[in-house]
Amino acid sequence: MDFISVSFLIFVIILVCAYFLMPDKYKWAVLLVGSYVFYGFSGIKLVVFLVFTTGVTFFSGLLLGNINEDSARHLKLHKADLTREEKKEYKNKVSSRKKRVVACAVVVNLGILIFLKYFNFIAKNINLVLVKVGFAGNIPLLKLLLPLGISFYTLQSIAYIVDLYRGKYKPDRNFFKFSLFMVYFPQIIQGPIARYDQLAHQLYVPHKFEYTRVTQGMQLILWGYMKKLILADRIAIPVNFIFDNPAPHEGFVLFLAAAGYGLQVYADFSGGMDIARGVSQILGIELVLNFERPYFAGSISEFWRRWHITLGSWMRDYVFYPLSLSKAFATLGKRTRKVFGNYIGKKLPTFLSMFIVFLLVGVWHGSSWKYVAYGLWNGIIIVSSILLEPVYEKIIEKLKINTECFSWRFFQMARTFILCSFGRFFSRGKTCLTAIDMFKRALAYPNPWVFFNGTFLNLGLSYKDYYVIFISILVFLVVGIMQEKGIHIREKIAEQNLYFRWMIYIGAVVAVLIYGSYGSGYSASEFIYQQF
């Protein structure tokens, strides 16, 4: 069931009614049943994978929780008669037991994801290598179906297991409630990747019907539909046109296709998040923010702190920190310090961890070399910007540039936008080689006349469509600026009188209906991140 469908709207209305009519004690059960019904629509056979991952995560969580409780009890009981060394030894023993549980659970959960998502990619590449060295290279490729949201719920399950290993909270002891945490329908398809301590409790406790909250939730849903249907699906038309057959295009046309794809993904993904958050808000559940106006970022690293925030923070907490603070990386740092000096020795473990993070972010998006290149592109920019920071500072000082004014911030934002857009060649290009070719041709053939000779009118959109895109971007820009300044727009709308409020609501609905870009047969295209 797609967010952009009449069946989804009917489903939400029925679920919301059932939720608020049900006695408090069973409200969470409505969400559980509703979420499984929603997920079941994606293919009943694929539900097995989700239930299996839920089971593995739940029972390994129980095991970890029991180990935590037993060790805390033991240490408390023997507080007086254990020496510091004995305590340390006991803690180490407990830690290695917990590590075994975590390793098993992570290998199983991640193994399913890796097998289903990457088996064919790995097999194809091994076959290629085997052929090159003179072997047959006939590892068979499999017809594998990817369960909806597997890349999201697998990360969610790993976070839960590792948090329990770290003793951050107690395990869930109710399998059905825990299942709800794993399958909660607004976020199962494309996130946000929730942490147990952020979401689970909100799902389990009953929420009362609150008029203001419900209307605010509906506004957010409407806003999400506007982003997706008016902007994302409209920009998609020329973007697909160019990326499907890039050969006849060059220069600015290629660059704008990549930049347009960046905007399309943003409107598409953040629109989906708004719908998920809006539906949750109606139910009284606050999902974490996944976007904070990424195109206002002044650097690529800031961009990644504002873009797909829950993936970034997941990578930070479960990959970047553990890697860069590991003993192996500390030893590496010490050794490189001897060879390359203090500065490089200190930075190298962090840089290496950062590269690994971005490689993982890249391949998380899909099994293709282009995603590896996408990860590397971002990693290289971030690492080089840190390495070159002293040089930049010197240049700024020499040229006496004022860094405290709007024009400097604007320059930083424009620079980030351009760098991000070039990265989009990799995430959207058909293959890695096509992406590199488009990247080169975008730079090599500057052709500003395409803005005036009608080139853009041959890409599937009319003048009217470009006006709609322009006005939409302007509206999103104004809203973004207001949000950056801390203005709560929905609260401001709520303060207005009835007539004005309803004018805005009806205007938004009409805009979605009239200006929404509906594909052939009036079926909107699916969300981009749904495929990941």
Partner 1 sequence: MKEKLLEILKDLRAEVEFEKETKLIDDGILDSFDIVTLVAELNAEFDIEINVMDLEPDNFNTVNAMLELIEKLQEEG
Q: How far is Cα 166 from Cα 164, in angstroms, rounded to an integer?
A: 5
Candidate list 324, 336, 367, 378; residue touching partner 1; CB under 8 A? 324
330 binds partner 1 (CB under 8 A): yes
Candidate list 43, 111, 322, 341; residue touching partner 1; CB under 8 A? 322
Candidate list 74, 207, 213, 316; residue touching partner 1; CB under 8 A? 316
Q: Nearest to residue 32, comparing CAs of 174, 148, 178, 208? A: 178
336 binds partner 1 (CB under 8 A): no
Question: Looking at 142-150, 342-350, 458-466, 521-529, which segment touches partner 1 (CB under 8 A)?
Answer: 342-350
325 binds partner 1 (CB under 8 A): yes
Beta carbon of residue 394, minimum distance to partner 1 (angstroms, whole number): 15
Closer of 14 and 380 to partner 1 (Cβ) = 380
N- to C-terminal Cα distance for the chain?
A: 16
Contact 384, 355 (CB under 8 A): no
Number of residues in contact with partner 1, rule: CB under 8 A?
Answer: 21
Question: Looking at 215-223, 314-322, 371-379, 484-492, which segment touches partner 1 (CB under 8 A)?
Answer: 314-322
301 binds partner 1 (CB under 8 A): yes
Q: How far is Cα 3 from Cα 1, in angstroms, rounded to an integer?
A: 7
Candidate list 317, 355, 419, 466; residue touching partner 1; CB under 8 A? 317
Candidate list 97, 177, 293, 305; residue touching partner 1; CB under 8 A? 305
- Around Cβ 217, how many Cβ atoms within 10 Å? 23
124 binds partner 1 (CB under 8 A): no
Residue whose token pair is 């340390």:
88
Closer of 348 and 419 to partner 1 (Cβ) = 348
User: How many CA atoms are closer than 13 Å to the CA of 68, on its beta-carbon side?
Assistant: 19
Cis, bond preceding 206 (omega within 30 deg of 0): no
Q: What share of the chain is helix, strand, coil (3-state, %, to 5)?
A: 75, 0, 25
Q: Nearest to residue 94, comparing CAs of 76, 74, 108? A: 74
Closer of 292 and 526 to partner 1 (Cβ) = 292
346 binds partner 1 (CB under 8 A): yes
Q: How far is Cα 320 from Cα 357, in angstroms, rounded to an integer?
A: 6
Beta carbon of residue 351, minimum distance to partner 1 (angstroms, whole number): 9
Q: How far is Cα 414 from Cα 440, in angstroms, rounded to an integer?
A: 20
Own/partner contacts of 445-451, CB < 8 Å, gap of 24 or more, are: 445/250, 445/251, 446/251, 446/252, 447/250, 447/251, 447/252, 447/253, 448/252, 450/251, 450/252, 450/253, 451/252
Q: Nearest to residue 295, comparing CAs of 426, 466, 414, 423? A: 414
168 binds partner 1 (CB under 8 A): yes
Candidate list 202, 215, 350, 447; residue touching partner 1; CB under 8 A? 350
Contacts to partner 1 from residues 370-399, by CB under 8 A: 386
333 binds partner 1 (CB under 8 A): yes
Closer of 2 and 292 to partner 1 (Cβ) = 292
Question: Looking at 27-35, 212-220, 348-356, 466-474, which segment touches partner 1 (CB under 8 A)?
Answer: 348-356
Question: Looking at 163-171, 223-231, 264-272, 424-432, which segment touches partner 1 (CB under 8 A)?
Answer: 163-171
Contact 35, 180 (CB under 8 A): yes
264 binds partner 1 (CB under 8 A): no
Beta carbon of residue 322, minimum distance to partner 1 (angstroms, whole number): 5
Closer of 322 and 341 to partner 1 (Cβ) = 322
Q: How far is Cα 181 from Cα 20, in angstroms, rounded to an integer?
A: 19
Candidate list 153, 320, 374, 422; residue touching partner 1; CB under 8 A? 320
Question: Looking at 114-122, 161-169, 360-368, 415-423, which segment touches partner 1 (CB under 8 A)?
Answer: 161-169
Closer of 52 and 329 to partner 1 (Cβ) = 329
Q: Could you tell me which residues come within 8 angstroms of residue 191 by beta carbon, excluding any fewer than 6 positions away?
A: 152, 273, 276, 290, 308, 310, 311, 529
Q: How far is Cα 438 from Cα 425, in angstroms, rounded to an integer?
A: 7
Q: Nearest to residue 151, comparing CAs of 452, 348, 371? A: 371
Beta carbon of residue 392, minimum distance to partner 1 (angstroms, whole number): 14
Candidate list 93, 100, 166, 415; residue touching partner 1; CB under 8 A? 166
432 binds partner 1 (CB under 8 A): no
Footprint of partner 1 on this chain (CB under 8 A)?
84, 166-168, 301, 305, 316-317, 320-322, 324-325, 330, 333, 346, 349-350, 353-354, 386
